[in-house]
Homo-oligomer: A and B are copies of this chain.
Amino acid sequence: MENIANGVWKYRWGEPEKHTPTTYREFEIQHEALARLVCGGKPPIAQRDIHVARSSRGVRIELPLGADEQVYGFGLQLHRVNHTGRKKMIRVNSDPVADTGDSHAPVPFYVSTAGYGVFVDTSRYATFYCGTNLRKGDSASKENVKRSIGTSESELYAYKGTDVSRSVLVDVPAAEGIDVYFFEGPDLRTAVQRYVLFSGGGCLPPMWGLGIWYRAYSAARKDDVMKLAAGFRKERMPVDVFGFEPGWQTRAYSCSFVWDEERFPRHQEMLDRLYEMDYKVNLWEHLFVHPTSPMYDALSPHSGDYEVWEGLVPDLSIQEAKRIFADHHREAFVDRGISGFKLDECDSSDYVHSNWSFPDVSSFPSGMDGEQMHNQIGTLYQSAILAPFEAAGKRTWSQVRASGALASPYPFVLYSDLYDHKVFIRGIVSSGFSGLLWTPEVRQAASAEDLIRRVQTVIFSPLALLNCWRIPNPPWVQVDREKNKAGIVMSDYESVQRICRELFELRMSLIPYLYSAFAKYWQEGLPPFRALAMDYPDDAAAQQIDDAYMMGDSILVAPLTADSSERTVYLPAGSWRDFWTHERYEGGSSYSFAYGLDRIPIFVKDNAILPLAVPLQHVREDAVFELTVRMYGDSPKECLLFEDDGNSLSYREGRYNWVRLRPGAEGAGEVERRGSFEGMKYKIKEWVSFK
């Protein structure tokens, strides 16, 4: 075993494949940040306990798993958070309808409550059997307790646990050798941080990226767009980013990457007008290149041997293909003010009613096959789109529908067409284990209640997105699609709009706190959105929770869904304060909470300091946040805010401050700034104590 960074170990067996996630690594291991983490200095799994074998199928890896260990990770997992006793296949796929491991962003990485992480460096559809089976004979030696006869499937197939040590079996197809990386703890959370820092650290959004996003109707024309944009400002609905769906292009399935001058005549004028109104503009696309695209001929020799939707599949692992793709995006879009993209359809599908994407047996000029390309294409695509922004010295905050291993440095947030609200909440809980970001976007809603409950979840996520591609008017005036298209408003739309506005404003007030949580993600590898099991790995109740999560270090979010205005919230060890009533609750217990439509269950750690900004309508470059600083409890602990220009890449050269908020004399607080950023993004409006 090779110690490749502080607390990171590499075990090589045989001759690994040429195309793996580390082959396409773009960001360096963050050695300095890793060195700042406590480290035991020995591999969490001893080499003698690792068993690897090769067959015609590929490589089989057997790793030990203690009877008590709980396993998390595998990227964005929408159907389950705790994977103990389960089988997970690492295969990129849209609309994963069942708990198979298929995901928009599957990652061959897991962490254990025993305080370590394991990354298998492969782009294959590897399968992880997490203690699913005992070895032959292990049950014969156990005491055999007779069970009652089941009369339902759930009784028959229930996972019954075990008191015997098991293994994690990893099935890596096609490979003849493998690199396995082990990440020390001492605890689960630190193991995750190590994996993120090994990936290159977390991304830092521009501050405007944390505002409200609105994506407009797919068939919208220029006038429709301008009417919506003016409407938000007029009605004081905070919106930072305006998103165009497929209709902006001359061809969308596959893509021309060219503005449609019929729907959007003089489109640059329209864009400039939107910029004047302080909107950032985000464009939908996917990466399949239509024959009418100006990139077609140049990309053709660098593309796979099968088409998707009449379009080329460019091999973006080839530098020349990436350059052609990035250059077009820079010239046509980034240099003309476009702030980001929504990278759709890069995930492939086996589960929608008409499956699509290139075959796993495709071949690509780089030598990758379709299977490898499927699991790599999400990050390669992010890399190609990020390039023009990096070249221009600008940050982007974008969306992507496929991602994977080592992806935490990419400033892209995942989304999905799966739309069950509980599934979407679970996505926030699960994605952090692999250093990924996920938005539970709001699209259609079954009712005004459903709309509001979904908005409440999305404002506590990395991207506060309303994706209204199927409706011409905002959902807060009409949730029913047909009525929305007919321009009929809901009778109670004013109160629905008011509640939405207040929730958007709540999001805007949380930007400084949230931005600072992202700065920790960048510097320390700590995901801003985390499962309770990550912060409380030894808490048996927290281990199973998939419907509540931490946002930053101080806030616990427990969303409600439309089926009930009441829910149970488990609060882990320590004291907690209700965000709304400030009431104190002792942790280690579950409580039932009921909230009206305008509130969501949020809890703040007692003795935390929480800055809330006066909500802006949008975050301009010169924005300054006026803070009301809440100080909870008898001995509030220092709170750190990250401060920089919020837009450029100068933070990487150290042009930032850490602003410390702490209790001062006479119930007020005091502020200390450290760092080399000369501007000032935060201004204290008031200090408020809740003893």
- Which A residues lie at the B interface, using CB under 8 A? 17, 55-58, 60, 85-87, 89, 97-100, 127, 129, 132-140, 142, 144, 146-154, 156-159, 169, 171, 173-176, 217-219, 246-247, 250-253, 290-292, 296, 300, 303-308, 310-312, 349-356, 358-361, 363, 369, 371, 417, 469-470
Contacts and interface: CB of A to CB of B under 8 A. Distances in A.
Copy number in the complex reads: 2
Contact of A56 (B99, B176, B246, B300): B176
Nearest to A292: B144
6 contacts: A140-B291, A144-B291, A150-B253, A151-B219, A157-B356, A159-B354
Given A129-B359, A149-B219, A355-B87, A310 B56 contact: no
B351 A98 contact: yes
Given A132-B359, A218-B151, A137 B300 contact: yes
Given A353-B157, A354-B159, A218 B307 contact: no
A316 to B, nearest CB: 16
A473 to B, nearest CB: 13
A157 B218 contact: no
Given A136-B306, A300-B136, A354-B85, A156 B359 contact: no
A61 to B, nearest CB: 9
Nearest to A61: B361
A138 B307 contact: yes
A351 B56 contact: no
A132 B253 CA distance: 15
Contacts of A306: 133-136
A419 B598 CA distance: 40
B311 A354 contact: no
A253 B148 CA distance: 10
Q: Which 7 A-B pairs have the closest CB atoms?
A: A139-B310, A140-B291, A133-B306, A171-B361, A149-B247, A60-B361, A159-B354
A107 to B, nearest CB: 19
A303 B175 CA distance: 27
Contacts of A149: 218-219, 246-247, 252
Given A135-B305, A306-B136, A470-B152, A359 B159 contact: no
A265 B332 CA distance: 83
Contacts of A151: 217-219, 469-470
B171 A253 contact: no
A303 B218 contact: no
A136 B247 contact: no
B360 A153 contact: no
Interface centre among A57, A85, A303 (most CB of B within 10 A): A57
Contact of A358 (B133, B159, B218, B371): B133
A57 B173 contact: yes
A352 B153 contact: yes
A361 B57 contact: yes
A360 B97 contact: no
B56 A174 contact: yes
Contacts of A100: 350-351, 355
Contacts of A217: 151
A134 B310 contact: yes
Interface centre among A154, A157, A253, A417 (most CB of B within 10 A): A157
Interface centre among A153, A154, A156, A304 (most CB of B within 10 A): A156
A165 B554 CA distance: 60
Contact of A144 (B137, B310, B354): B310
Contacts of A308: 133
Contacts of A147: 253
Interface centre among A60, A140, A158 (most CB of B within 10 A): A140
Contacts of A361: 55, 57, 60, 127, 129, 169, 171
Contacts of A175: 56
A134 B310 CA distance: 7
Interface centre among A137, A138, A149 (most CB of B within 10 A): A149
A604 B303 CA distance: 55
A253 B355 contact: no
A150 B246 CA distance: 8
Contacts of A363: 55
A685 to B, nearest CB: 44
A359 B169 contact: yes
Contacts of A246: 149-150
B353 A307 contact: no
Contacts of A311: 139
Contacts of A153: 352, 417
A57 B371 contact: yes
A307 B142 CA distance: 13
Contacts of A354: 85-86, 157-159
A181 to B, nearest CB: 21
Contact of A98 (B85, B97, B218, B291): B97
A135 B218 contact: no
Contacts of A154: 353
B57 A156 contact: no
A166 to B, nearest CB: 10
Contacts of A134: 306-307, 310
Contacts of A99: 353, 355
A436 to B, nearest CB: 23
Contacts of A290: 144
Contacts of A470: 151-152
A173 B173 contact: yes
A136 B56 contact: no
Nearest to A260: B149
A95 to B, nearest CB: 9
